[in-house]
């Protein structure tokens, strides 16, 4: 049994699937001391969404998973919604660039509507593929990301980015793009960050670091904002990918055993950064003891 900690323990980015571990993965997270999850939608069908109703069904599935996790485990769940940017490439192949972009924009606007209705807390993942693509798709990808920033501005929502690994100039370029759309970079998060970039060189964008042990120790003394995540995929074909959902609470337990001062540094990703970017204050007492 994990030691009860006196900070909330937050995985900032994960996925759950109705055909994967689902609630069982959340229960595993809870048993290790986890308290709060940011649950990001994903393509549950496998095929590329080609209709707005496909995205609506996807968002409903995420919402229902969140409801089940809350009810069955006591974990606090924050929902994050958007069309996955890689699916845009498949839609371009199937529908053509113009129709694919229109569908993607409609799906972004639907996510924005849910955020305004307080059914989700952020727009994400949005951005661009993390691998090389046909240069002819670049204008469509850029327009889709620009539209995502505009929807975020209209919905007063944080933005969670899916991109290639970023260096300092790339952080700065995305911050400039956000500003042009009227979004403060302090409300933008780079998900799946695998290497540290100095806080002074990120131009306000917050990294969400993969909770690998060496990286956690590298960034632990950085000032806010930054987050820890597993990007748990809940894919039965790839058990435990990217990191298992129990990873973040296990890292917290390790630091607690090293001493109070080390553990208290986790107030930065688990409380302070969430307050700054999302305007939410996670509290340990929100989650029943056990």
Three-state DSSP at 211 gives coil
3-class secondary structure per residue, 58-88: HHHHHHHHHHHHHHHHCCEEEEEECCCHHHH
Total residue count of the chain as it appears in this document: 290
Q: CA-to-CA distance for 58 and 268, rounded, in angstroms?
A: 32
Quote the pLDDT of residue 290: 63
Do 2 and 249 contact (CB within 8 A), yes or no? Answer: yes
Q: Taking residues 144-163, what's their average pLDDT?
A: 98
Annotation: CATH topology of 10-286: TIM Barrel (3.20.20)
Quote the pLDDT of residue 4: 59
- The per-residue pLDDT for range 81-101, each reduced to its tens digit, is 999 999 999 999 999 999 999
Q: CA-to-CA distance for 86 and 48, rounded, in angstroms?
A: 9
Structure tokens at 130: 């993390």
- The per-residue pLDDT for range 15-39, each reduced to its tens digit, is 999 999 999 999 999 999 999 999 9
- HSE-CB for 1 with a 13 A CA cutoff: 5
Do 87 and 128 contact (CB within 8 A), yes or no? Answer: no
Quote the pLDDT of residue 112: 98
Percent of the chain with pLDDT over 70: 98
Report the range of poorest mean pLDDT among 68-77, 209-218, 280-289.
Answer: 280-289
- The per-residue pLDDT for range 178-213, each reduced to its tens digit, is 999 999 999 999 999 999 999 999 999 999 999 999
Quote the pLDDT of residue 174: 97
- The per-residue pLDDT for range 54-72, each reduced to its tens digit, is 999 999 999 999 999 999 9
Q: Within the chain, where are the H helices?
A: 23-31, 52-73, 85-95, 97-116, 138-155, 168-180, 213-219, 247-258, 260-264, 267, 273-278
Q: Taking residues 8-19, what's their average pLDDT?
A: 97
Do 79 and 278 contact (CB within 8 A), yes or no? Answer: no
């Amino acid at each position: 049994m994990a030691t009860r900690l006196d900070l909330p323990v937050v995985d900032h980015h994960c996925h759950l699937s109705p055909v994967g571990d689902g609630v069982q993965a959340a229960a595993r997270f809870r048993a290790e001391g986890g308290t709060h999850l940011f649950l990001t939608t994903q393509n549950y069908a496998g095929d590329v969404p080609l209709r707005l109703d496909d995205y609506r069904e996807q968002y409903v599935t995420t919402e229902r998973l969140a409801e089940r996790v809350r009810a069955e485990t006591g974990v606090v769940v924050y929902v994050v919604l958007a069309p996955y940017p890689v699916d845009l490439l498949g839609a371009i192949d199937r529908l053509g660039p113009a129709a694919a972009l229109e569908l993607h924009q409609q799906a972004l606007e639907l996510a924005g509507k849910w955020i305004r209705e307080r059914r989700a807390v952020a727009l994400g993942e949005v951005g661009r593929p993390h691998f090389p693509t046909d240069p002819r798709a670049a204008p469509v990808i850029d327009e889709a990301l620009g539209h995502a920033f505009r929807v975020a501005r209209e919905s007063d929502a944080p933005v969670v980015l899916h991109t290639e690994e970023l260096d300092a100039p790339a952080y700065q370029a995305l911050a400039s793009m956000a500003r042009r759309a009227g979004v403060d970079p302090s409300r933008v998060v780079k998900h799946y960050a695998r290497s540290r970039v100095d806080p002074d060189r990120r131009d306000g964008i917050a990294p969400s670091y993969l909770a690998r042990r060496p990286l956690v120790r590298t960034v632990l003394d950085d000032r806010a904002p930054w987050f820890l995540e597993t990007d748990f995929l809940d894919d039965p074909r790839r058990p435990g990918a990217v990191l298992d959902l129990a990873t973040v609470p296990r890292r917290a337990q390790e630091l607690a055993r090293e001493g109070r001062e080390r553990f208290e540094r986790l107030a930065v990703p688990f409380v302070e950064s969430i307050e700054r970017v999302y305007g939410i204050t996670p509290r340990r007492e929100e989650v029943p003891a056990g």
